[in-house]
Structure 1
Amino acid sequence: MVRGGIYIVNVAGIGDKSEKHSCNGGNGVKEHNGAGATELKKYDYQEAINISGNGSYNYGLLAVLSLSLLGMGIDIFGFSVIVTGSACDFQLELWQKNIMLSMPFVGPIVMSIAWGYISDTQGRRKALLIALWGSFLSSFISAFSPNWIILALLKVFSSSFCSAVQSVAYALLNESCTSAVKGVYMLIMTSVLMLFVLSYVVPAYYILQLSFAYNIGFLTFTPWRLLTILLAAPLGISAFFLHFYYESPKFLVNAGREELALEFLAKIWTRNGKKDKYPVHKVVLHEELSFKTQDMHILKSLWLQTIPLFKPPLIWRTLQLFYLTAVIYGTNNSLVMWMPYIIGAFTSGTNSSTSDGSRSLCSILRSTANISSVVDSTTCSSSIQFHTLLSGITHGLVFASITLVVSKLASWKKLLMIMFLLIPALSSLGAIFNQNNLASLILFVGMTMTNLCMGVLFSYYVELYPTSYSGMAACLGVLVARFSGLAGVNFLGSFVMMHCTMTFYVFTGYLMSGVIVALFLPPDIKPKEV
């Protein structure tokens, strides 16, 4: 039996007395029988993965999962430049563009629950491989779409698949790394994700300026089709290399497949450069094990996988994380859409000889309406503007750098969450009263810093739930994120143009409510080295 995390083993031939034996810090036990003594070592899972070490296996897994996360960001949000590039070929009207731009949000809303179920019952790696290959193939095929309707439908398929990546990649990385580095690695992975705007804007800017057109029989191959294939590449590359990595050993232990988990732990140990034999022979998981689904109806199984998240004791944690997700993604998505226009208005203002540097953020936002509405109706342009390129580079370098720097504070997750909600709240409040041009741009960047919470947020989804439900919780978090992002873009994004000052007050209050909710997150605990 287990008391206080120490295994008590009855010793044969000594009545009901028990004897405690410890090895490796009190985690091992010795079992005795009448013929002699045999040693049986038992380790908690986190101790077992800590012993496997941190080396080339973990570095490679971090790189592959970071690329997969970057591919997801490019696939979902990079579709905007594909719509721009295909506008002339398909002679798109404004209503058609609006429909197409909403398609990347439809897929995650439809499939998030299904991916959570697959991740928790079939495995992290299996779910991720299906998601990456499915998304890559859908995106690749969409490059040969004969019309805008097919292109839009294929984007629904593509985003449906890659909606699993954000939650499952964090889960696989978290469960495959030592406690000393997993927090750092998850923030490093998020810093790579911050490069997604740069990663699709830069190639789009140059490729869409090309003018080639090759007739391949059933369609004409133009620059936007080449761009579509290029932007799908990270998904395919990461899917290919993921085949060289293993399923989460923690998932396998939870699923009752301890022997396979030990085999993979031993292989991780070897690939991390250890020459001797992996010392762990018994792994235990101090949580509820996964239930069996083989003889269960799929709907009942799905229900049993989901409902515990909304019952005590998990319901309060679920509501807390869902609210933080809504705050982070709702505010961030509604503001990021304006970044290219803000930078365009700022650069044109600073280059103007009549500018005295006195412009509030609200006046800059109102000026973007004039920038975005000036279109030459006599020509069709499939290229993107220079200020969009500048915006993508600025966004990527600034936020990737900040996330990489704060990864050193990965063990202070709660502090980081509060800080990156408080800074946008104070920036929103400051933007109401500020009248300086440069300060307005800085405050706008401060308001968008909620995106730095993403890695911390999904680490909570992985760590605060039992293994049997963490995949479902994270995928439902993605569902809330996409709903919130869509609402932010369509409601708050338009409201800010008519009632700018009021919108900033709402942002301030909304973000401060997120700070208050974040105060009730578990206290930070510094991980211990093995």
Structure 2
Amino acid sequence: MYLVGFGVYNILQMLLSGFILMGVIMQSMVMGYVMPAAQCDLNLNLTQRGWLSAIPFIAIIITSYFWGWIADTRGRRFVMLFSMIISAVFSALASFAPEIYSFAVLSFISSIFMSGPSAVVYTFLGEFTNIRHRDKIVAFGSSFVGIGTLVLPAISWLILPLEFTYPIEFLGINYRPWRLLLVACALPFIIGTVFLMLAPESPKFLCASGKFEECLAVLRKMYTINRRLPEDTYPVKALIPEAHSCKANENTGIAAILFSMKEQTTPLFKLPLLPWTCLTCFVQFGIFATTNGFFIWSPTILNSLISHEGNQTRICDVMDAVHAQVSANSTQVVCNDVINTTTFELSIYLGLVFCSMYIIVGFLVDFMGKKLILVVLLAGTGLSGIGAHLAYNQHLAIVLFAVLMMSGACIGLMNAVTVELFPTKYRAMAVCLSMMMGRVGSMTGSNLVGLFLATNCGVSFYLFAGIIILCSLSCLFLPGKNKGPIVTKPTDEETRNEAQEPA
């Protein structure tokens, strides 16, 4: 990979992967904006809104393992092409759902396929870049997650206030703005699919699969674009076959599939990979639980603070007062699907903060290294979470609350750590497992934050700030900068050979 250089090709690959990541975050979070606007059309109560908002996370938890196995046996590009287009189609179909059950089923199917690129894209991007520049390129690619959190409320602000209504008689529905928003958030996947069709498979995967001529063709193209030299001047003329190549599994049948999945997973839970599997899964769980747990409830929290009249007081004092007022007034939910534009404005400001942090991390990672950034950033955001609860100045509380959610900027870095630690054969599976645990964290965090906001608000801040600080301490055990994949025991021939970089 060093011979092909680093340049325009890698930047284009980063932009493509980032665009796909932006589609993932928009598909994952769009329910938070759709549910308030759709509650009248679908006759939703608060409990149903909560479960529908959790559908993307449930789908990713259930299917991440499966997508990791396919990516390690069939290819990274294949998984993303196949899953993105189907996810976009079912998302568009969900916009025509007449009632809650069909909407839930179609959204769930769309989310199942959305989970395909959600973790595989990090592996895909990392394997096009040599170790020297991998941290930086993955960090910048991850910044599109922050861009997605900025684009989503902006698009919602453009679409949801519209007042059009188009009746579709045979479905018995009125096509309203919230339905159009579902289609709009699927567009990044459609555009990403078109551009991905022009991109090749990961050269690392091709080499590990024994497809040496195809791997060389990709490397020559990268060499030509990065170094602006003819392909025939590329010094490598042939690749030496490894003792083992992870060719795509050609066996069929459930038994063969289960055996293949077992073969891909078992090494992750054996030494020397087991400690790193546990560490990456735990840290991703903590980051996702905190970031997404609070992000889903951030419009509620921020709007309550902005609407508060009276003396300066803590976030939780305001939330307790709002909850007490709602409980005292009525137990019946009034159907009101009008969304205050303040929600969009505040969400855009949060998106700007996220983008800034992602970009800053991308510039600093080459100088400080992933380990130091993870330790410092996670510790700082955790302490800010405690400060957000204790602050009586509401402006300061909002700033500290935003900083707490900036721990999400470490998701990409942890994926870069995983790509670096694990051999090619198990890399996509390792990333998918850690991301699956992250989505479990999202589910856990969103439900616990909602529960504690209604019962004991302060616990939510102390609990998740403490988890983030514990994640920071766990990152102290990570190896130093760019140590390369962990090599397993000499008897495990396949993993040992995977530790080598292709030319």
TM-score by structure 2 length?
Answer: 0.88
Aligned residue in 1 for 2:463? 506
C-alpha contact (below 8 Å) 2:30/2:182 kept by paired residues: no
String of CA shifts for 1:415-453, please: whole Å, max 9, x gaps. 111122101221233345432222211221222121111
| 1:437-516 equivalences in 2 (<5 Å) | 437-516=394-473
Could you say which residue in structure 2 is the equivalent of 1:224? 178
Encode CA deviations 1:60-87: one digit per residue, 9 max, x unaligned: 2222211111111111111222222322
Secondary structure, aligned partner of 1:215? strand
Partner Cα separation in structure 2 for residue 344 and residue 310 of structure 1: 45
Q: 1:242 aligns with which of 196, 201, 206?
A: 196
Distance 1:406 1:109 in 2: 27
1:476-517 C-alpha deviation (Å, 9 max, x unpaired) = 112111111101111243124423334433334322221221
Cα pair distance change 1:270/1:347, threshold 3 Å = same
Question: Counterparts of 1:524 and 1:343 in 2: how far apart (Å)?
Answer: 39
2:168 is aligned with 1:168: no
Alpha-carbon contact 2:381-2:404 (below 8 Å) kept: yes
**In the TM superposition, what are the counterparts of 1:79-478 in structure 2 within 5 Å?**
79-219=31-171, 220-272=174-226, 274-276=228-230, 277=232, 278-283=234-239, 289-290=245-246, 293-295=249-251, 297-349=256-308, 352=309, 354-355=310-311, 358-369=312-323, 380-411=335-366, 412-478=369-435
Please show how residues 21-32 of structure 1 align to structure 2 within 5 Å.
Answer: none
The reply to whether residue 69 of structure 1 matches residue 21 of structure 2 is yes
Q: State the 1:294 CA deviation.
A: 2.2
Asked if 2 retains the 8 angstrom alpha-carbon contact of 1:139 and 1:232, the reply is yes
Deviations 1:281-320 (A, max 9, x none): 2345989642663247111111111111001111111011
Alpha-carbon shift at residue 167 of structure 1 (Å): 1.5
Q: 1:228 is aligned with what amino acid?
A: L
Between the aligned residues of both structures, percent identity stands at: 31
What CA deviation, in whole Å up to 9, does each residue of 1:44-64 have, x standing for no partner?
xxxxx2222233322222222
Verify the 8 A CA contact 1:208 1:224 in the aligned structure 2.
yes
Distance of 1:212 and 1:147 partners within structure 2 = 20
Residue 131 of structure 2 aligns to a residue whose secondary structure is coil
Q: Match of 1:281, as an amino acid?
A: K
Give the letter aligned to residue 340 of structure 2: Q
Structure 1 distance, partners of 2:396, 2:332, is 35
**Mapped partners of 2:364, 2:58: distance in 1:** 35
Whole-angstrom CA distance in 2 between matches of 1:490 and 1:216: 36
Q: Which structure: greater helix fraction?
A: 2
- Name the CA distance, whole Å, in 2 between partners of 1:371 and 1:78: 29
Unaligned runs of 5+ in 1: 1-48
- Tell me how far apart the structure 1 counterparts of residues 48 and 386 of structure 2 sit (CA, whole Å): 37
Give yes or no for contact 2:353–2:402 (8 Å, CA) kept in 1: no
* Contact 1:133/1:239, CA 8 A, preserved across alignment: yes
Greater Cα shift, 397-406 or 441-450: 441-450
Question: Does the CA-based 8 Å contact 1:208-1:382 persist in structure 2?
Answer: no
Matched letter for residue 235 of structure 2: P
Q: Which residue number in structure 2 is paired with residue 44 of structure 1?
A: none
Relative distance call for 1:345 and 1:92 in structure 2 (3 A) is: closer
2:190 aligned partner, one-letter code: G
C-alpha distance in 1 between matches for 2:155 and 2:248: 47
CA contact (8 A) 2:71 2:428 kept: yes
> Structure with the greater relative contact order (CA < 8 A, sep ≥ 6): 1 or 2?
2
Q: Distance in 2 between matches of 1:311 and 1:471?
A: 17
Q: How far apart in 1 are the matches of 2:457 and 2:37?
A: 31
3-state SS of paired residue (1:212): coil
Q: Deviations over 1:92-150 (max 9, x none)?
A: 23333233222212211221111001110111111111121121111112122222211
How much has 1:200 moved relative to structure 2? 2.1
Deviates more, 1:305-314 or 1:198-207: 198-207
Change (3 A) 1:503 1:75: closer
Give per-residue Cα distances to partners, 1:1-43, cap 9 Å, x unaligned: xxxxxxxxxxxxxxxxxxxxxxxxxxxxxxxxxxxxxxxxxxx
| Alpha carbons 1:342, 1:368 under 8 Å: kept | no
Which stretch has the larger CA shift, 289-298 or 122-131? 289-298
Bigger drift between 379-388 and 180-189 goes to 379-388
- Letter of the 1:384 counterpart: I
Contact 2:297 2:446 in 1 (8 A): no
Question: Which whole-Å CA distance do the structure 2 matches of 1:216 and 1:512 have between them?
Answer: 52
> Contact 2:375–2:475 (CA<8 Å) still a contact in 1?
yes
Amino acid at match of 1:454: I
Query: 1:449 is aligned with what amino acid?
Result: M
Gaps in structure 2 of 5+ consecutive residues = 485-502
d(CA) in 2 for partners of 1:80, 1:225: 13
Cα distance between partner residues in 1 of 2:264 and 2:483:
31
1:88: Cα distance to partner?
2.0
In 2, the alpha carbon distance for the partners of 1:360 and 1:95 equals 27
Contact persistence 1:112–1:475 (CA under 8 A): yes
Distance 2:324 2:81 in 1: 45
- Map of 1:26 onto structure 2: none
Secondary structure class of the residue paired with 2:2: helix
- After superposition, the Cα gap between the structure-2 partners of 1:55 and 1:508, relative to the gap in structure 1 and judged at 3 Å, is closer
Cα distance in structure 1, aligned partners of 2:154 and 2:100:
24
